[in-house]
Amino acid sequence: MTAPTPEQTRIRIGAVGYLNARPLVYGLEHSTRFSVRQDVPARCAELLHADEIDLGLIPSIEYLRGPRSYAIVPDLAVASRGPVASVALYTRKEPRDIRSIALDTTSRTSVALTQVAARHAFRIEPTLIPMAPDLPSMLASADAALIIGDRALFLDHGAEGARKIDLGELWTDATGLPFVYAFWAGRPRVIGPDDVTALWRARDAGVANVGVLAARCFPDDEARRAIVEPYLRNNICYALGAAEIEGLTTFYRYAAELGLVNFDGELRFHHADL
């Protein structure tokens, strides 16, 4: 029998290419244990569902849309406790007057959060229109636009005469809880306790080096570095503690009430050496 090659024994992980995920994969590109690819959040979920990666940084809503056997890597997430800055609705109208929303569909969690916000915060039932994330085109076709990720972080919405409704801030103001946008998940036993520890160490190193990450991403753009470093340091949190889990399960219950997912109240986790 031919022994597997080192490449065949590496864990295939699908990470999100957005700035807010960079601390979670800090240094993993040099790992002999992990093989890393980067995509938009929705694509990470598609690859995991298709078994083309072993572990994915998936939109949190996708945990309930794949096999019920998925397990979450403990204490790691992309979350916010208040304003997130990079997940927002843009509109020229009062929220109660919105009748249609153009959706950037690259993150399915943000789409679900928009639907929850429409029902519970704005008391509206808008028509939803999937579109490419271009604010002028979106606002020409709908009353509001959902845009996420790096594009939202740097967007000059004032040039379009639009207000920005930060969905992370809206969620925390309404619930008092953090919001969890994404986390590592995969099939049970695909990783072991040592792998979980390696992912924790990558996160810790990334959080400690957000200035390095900002400079690496924008070496010749001081203005953007000045936005990115406090964003990674202050707007995004990378833990999945008790408060984040409560926020996550609350979101799941709201999404289930809207018929977006089924939720049995149970979360499953990979084993870790604590």
How does pLDDT run across 158-191, given as a tens digit for each residue? 999 999 999 999 999 999 999 999 999 998 888 9
Residue that terminates a domain, selected from 175, 210, 243: 175
Examine the pLDDT at 2 and tell me if it is beyond 50: no
Residue among 191, 183, 185 nearest 33 (CA): 191
Mean pLDDT of 207-235: 95
Query: Is the same domain home to 72 and 182?
Result: yes
- Whether 124 and 11 map to the same domain: the answer is no
- 240 with 107, same domain? no
CATH number for position 209: 3.40.190.10
Cα dihedral angle (168, 174, 175, 178), rounded to 10 degrees?
10
Are 106 and 165 part of one and the same domain? yes
Task: Tell me, yes or no, whether 110 and 169 share the same domain.
Answer: yes
Q: What size, in residues, is the chain? A: 274
Assess whether 58 and 189 both reside in one domain: yes
Cα–Cα distance, 88 to 154 (Å, whole number): 12
Res 5 pLDDT > 50: no
Position 143 in a domain = yes
Distances (CA, A) of 200 to 183, 196, 248: 12, 6, 20
Mapped onto helix, strand or coil, the DSSP state of residue 162 is coil
Count of CB atoms situated within 10 Å of the CB of 92: 14
Q: Is the pLDDT of residue 120 over 90?
A: yes
Query: Domain range spanning residue 137?
Result: 87-175
Domain boundary among 123, 151, 175: 175
- pLDDT tens track for 27-69: 998 899 999 999 988 899 999 999 999 999 999 999 998 877 7
The residue-averaged pLDDT of 68-83 equals 94
Residues in contact with 149: Cβ distance below 8 Å, sequence separation at least 6, in sequence order:
18, 19, 20, 40, 86, 87, 104, 106, 107
**Counting Cβ atoms within 10 Å, is residue 217 exposed (0-12), middle (13-18) or buried (19+)?**
middle
Query: CA 104 to CA 116: how far, in whole Å?
Result: 16
Asked whether the predicted pLDDT for residue 274 surpasses 50, the reply is no
Instruction: Answer whether residue 268 is part of any domain.
Output: no
Q: Do 209 and 248 share a domain, yes or no?
A: yes
Any domain includes 189: yes
Report the predicted TM-score, pTM, of the whole model to 2 decimal places.
0.93
Q: Is residue 265 part of a domain?
A: no
Same domain, 46 and 123: no
> What pLDDT sits at residue 143?
98
The number of angstroms, rounded, from the C-alpha of 237 to the middle of its chain's C-alpha atoms is 11
Q: Are 55 and 132 in a shared domain?
A: no
Spatial CB neighbours of 71, under 8 Å, sequence gap ≥ 6: 185, 186, 187, 188, 268, 269, 270
- Say yes or no: 160 and 189 in one domain: no
Single residue among 175, 200, 224 that ends a domain in this structure:
175
Q: 194: part of which helix (H) or strand (E)?
A: helix 193-208
Number of domains present in the structure of the chain: 2
User: Of the candidates 112, 105, 143, 146, which has an alpha carbon nearest to the alpha carbon of residue 126?
Assistant: 143
**CA of 28: how far to CAs of 178, 201, 218, 240, in Å?**
27, 10, 20, 20
Q: In terms of domains, do 99 and 167 share one?
A: yes
Position 28 in a domain = yes
- Listing DSSP states for 195-230 in one string gives HHHHHHHHHHHHHHTHHHHHHHH-TT-HHHHHHHHH
Amino acid at 75: D
| Domain annotation covers residue 206 | yes
Are 167 and 49 part of one and the same domain? no
Q: Is residue 14 part of a domain?
A: yes
Tokens representing 132 are 């490419």
Quick check: is 37 in a domain? yes
CB 228 within 8 A of CB 234: no
